Amino acid sequence: MTMKGMDIEAGRQSAQTIQQGSQELEQLTNTLTQSLESFQWIGPDADRTRQSWQSEHRTALTNISQALQEFSTLINNQAQEQEQVSS
């Protein structure tokens, strides 16, 4: 017989791991931002680099972190639904 549905505990563990990864990515993004802003560097190259970080790279990492949070929530919701159906 083939199982359909979710291994609830494994799903919740996966959601927790994804949530933790999201938080770690957010912390890393903040650390990198602080590092880039913490030393004296003046001129057009500095301006371009910092602008690129803020407008492109930091934004991309923030979006990924948010997507991971949403994915974690989705898995948790699916686990809860599976639990309700199975009980």
Q: In whole angstroms, what is the distance from residue 85 CA to residue 32 CA?
A: 44
Q: Tell me the percentage of the chain whose pLDDT exceeds 90.
A: 90
| Tokens 């880039």 belong to residue | 36
**Total-model pTM:** 0.86
Is-contact 69 44, C-beta < 8 A? no
| Rg, the chain, Cα only | 19
Residues 34 and 67: their CA atoms lie apart, in Å, by: 23
Query: pLDDT (tens digit, 9 = 90+) per residue, 64-78?
Result: 999 999 999 999 999
